[in-house]
Amino acid sequence: MSIKELAENANHKDFDSKRHQELLDKANEAVANTDVDPRWHPLVHVAPKAGWMNDPNGVCYFNGRYHMFFQHYPYGSKWGPMHWGHATSTDLVTWQRESIALAPSEKYDEDGVWSGTSLVLSEGELAVFYTGNRWVNGEDDTDGKVQTQCLAVSTDGQNFTKLGPILEAPEGVEDIRDPKVWREADRWWMIIGVSAPVEDGPNRGQVWLYSSDDLIDWEFERVLYEDPDPLCYMVECPDFFEMDGKRVLVYCPMTTAPRRGYGQRNGHNNGYAAGDWEPGGEFVVKHEFSQFDWGHHYYAPQSLRVPDGRQIIFGWMGGFELPLASQKDDAWSGHLATPRVLELDDDYVLRATPIAEFAELRDVDNAVVLDEFTLGVDETRELLEDAGPVDIELEVDLTKTSSEQVSLLVNRISDTEYAEVAYDSLSNRVVLDRGKVGSTDRGYRAAPYTGGDVLKLRVIIDRGSVEVIIGDGEHAVSSLVFPREGKRGIALASTGGKIAVNKLAIYPLRSIWA
């Protein structure tokens, strides 16, 4: 399918590119004229220069560069009428900020160019699919919304022509969004997240499957998936891809289930189900929904098969449970997580670890690298007095460790103020605790520990966030963490016993901004 053919068949042929450009210019200017407070603004994670961001969108490899678009509100640190912000990279490690790519400009997307994905049609021809959002009352969602799946095309990845709606919401369906489109078995396929009305009960979170032979007219195929939680009323940002002949569905369930226990602690959570699927058939689930990252802030992940065959996933570290401290005085909110490479094992268990090339940011000359040592009973050993962004690798022999917790104290302002990353042997969980961090946005999260006798933690610390990858990536805990002003030390601490460290390395990180 070429852009020329799409333009001929399009439903909207009078896109006013001049007006769109004026809106983009205004939005770019607003960002350029906003100064953020740098204290927590990310140095090793993708974010706009200022303003609000949420989901990664349209991630692709196109014309020799990786393109990362994202939900962006340029006029403030709160969620608002969505634009698509834009950054690019040649190596997935260093990034360059680009001009905003899409602004709400048409009747069908006048209240927001919401999330979606990219499809490289051919060398030099890119299509993006997104949800156009419109409030019925023109103001907010109190009287309902109209969500339409839309198409836009580009030859340079920077300037887009909107070709308009390709799929209207069926009667009675209000929340239907975040299209993902791919080519398989000589057809185009699309999945969308839906809040599906059902008889005699609350709406159910489902993923709907459509197919097409021209990318413009779409036929409903089936309900591909329904979240097993009867209180899940909406599925956002579904991503569906093949790995080693199996299928993974990554998605974000929204549920009214009470928050008890460790799982699904956020208003918005992420996870995956895995199974088997053949085009035209049913999705046969072999691995039921499982949370993917247990932190406060990991949402709306979107993955990309990169040219060397790896499936890499990009999540958003931010949240709708507001306010976040950075919003109040600092003029920004949200950043992407470190790109993670996915692996699916024979039991359909998904693992995610930071891409290998992320290590290129390490300043190895200034690293702290400690080989085997034992930390005594109730001992705290300072490792760095004041750290910027760092990448930490910790390996501990649990068979020789008697300490109840293996605690890395980070953002350590004083003996009593720090964030704690700990393996807790009582609950057998890995905890990220912001309770003593000295700022707002407190609370802890804890992921199950499913590793063996050798505990492996990878901890990536940015100015305003901590990502913890556990073991070989079975689980992770990622949260925004906003330390009070002061030094940001790092220490290792034991509780009621000893810690047998195999290896501990702390690498200062260079900025990702080229």
* Catalytic site positions: 55
Phi, psi (5° rounding) for residue 471?
55, -130
141 by DSSP, 3-state: which?
Answer: helix
Residues 230-259 that bind ligand FRU (CB under 6 A): 236-237
Find the shortest distance in angstroms from Cβ 60 to ligand FRU. 18
Q: Which is nearer to ligand FRU, 134 or 177 (CB)?
A: 177
Q: Which is nearer to ligand FRU, 56 or 157 (CB)?
A: 56
Question: Cα separation of 162 and 15, whole Å?
Answer: 6
Q: Of 177, 287, 434, 475, which lies in the binding site for ligand FRU, with binding defined by CB under 6 A? A: 177
Question: Cα separation of 327 and 434, whole Å?
Answer: 18
Residues 289-318 that bind ligand FRU (CB under 6 A): 299-300
Find the shortest distance in angstroms from Cβ 487 to ligand FRU. 35
Phi, psi (5° rounding) for residue 76?
175, 180
Total residue length of the chain: 514
CB neighbours of residue 113 within 10 Å? 31
Q: Of 48, 52, 71, 319, which lies in the binding site for ligand FRU, with binding defined by CB under 6 A? A: 71
Question: Cα separation of 274 and 347, whole Å?
Answer: 9
Nearest to 120 by CA among 1, 272, 21: 1
Q: Which is nearer to ligand FRU, 289 or 299 (CB)?
A: 299
Find the shortest distance in angstroms from Cβ 78 to ligand FRU. 12
Q: Which is nearer to ligand FRU, 295 or 483 (CB)?
A: 295
Nearest to 181 by CA among 438, 1, 34: 1
Distance between the two ends of the chain, CA-based, in angstroms? Answer: 35
Q: Which two tokens stand for residue 114?
A: 């919401």
Q: Which is nearer to ligand FRU, 52 or 444 (CB)?
A: 52
Question: Cα separation of 254 and 233, whole Å?
Answer: 6
* Binding letters toward ligand FRU, positions 126-145, x by CB under 6 A: -----x--------------
Find the shortest distance in angstroms from Cβ 252 to ligand FRU. 7
**Kind of pairing, strands 332-333 and 51-62?**
parallel
Question: Cα separation of 224 and 208, whole Å?
Answer: 5
**Kind of pairing, strands 311-317 and 332-333?**
unpaired
Residues 182-241 that bind ligand FRU (CB under 6 A): 236-237
Residues 108-127 that bind ligand FRU (CB under 6 A): 114-115
Q: Which is nearer to ligand FRU, 131 or 401 (CB)?
A: 131
Q: Of 106, 111, 178, 467, which lies in the binding site for ligand FRU, with binding defined by CB under 6 A? A: 178
* DSSP class per residue in 73-92: ETTSSS--S-EEEEEEESSS
DSSP state letter for 339: P
Phi, psi (5° rounding) for residue 356?
-55, -40
Q: Of 55, 106, 227, 420, which lies in the binding site for ligand FRU, with binding defined by CB under 6 A? A: 55
The answer to the question of residue 337 lying near ligand FRU (CB under 6 A) is no
Find the shortest distance in angstroms from Cβ 268 to ligand FRU. 7
Cβ neighbors of 468 (< 8 A, separation 6 or more) are 295, 421, 430, 432, 447, 457, 458, 459, 476, 477, 478
Find the shortest distance in angstroms from Cβ 131 to ligand FRU. 5
Q: Which is nearer to ligand FRU, 131 or 407 (CB)?
A: 131
Q: Distance from CA of residue 165 to its chain's centroid?
A: 26
Q: Which is nearer to ligand FRU, 79 or 507 (CB)?
A: 79
Provide the sign of the torsion angle of the four alpha carbons 328, 333, 338, 340, taken in this order: positive
Q: Of 82, 166, 408, 431, which lies in the binding site for ligand FRU, with binding defined by CB under 6 A? A: 82
Find the shortest distance in angstroms from Cβ 270 to ligand FRU. 10
Find the shortest distance in angstroms from Cβ 54 to ligand FRU. 5
Q: Of 40, 45, 52, 54, which lies in the binding site for ligand FRU, with binding defined by CB under 6 A? A: 54
Contact residues for ligand FRU, defined by CB under 6 A: 54-55, 71, 82, 114-115, 131, 177-178, 236-237, 299-300
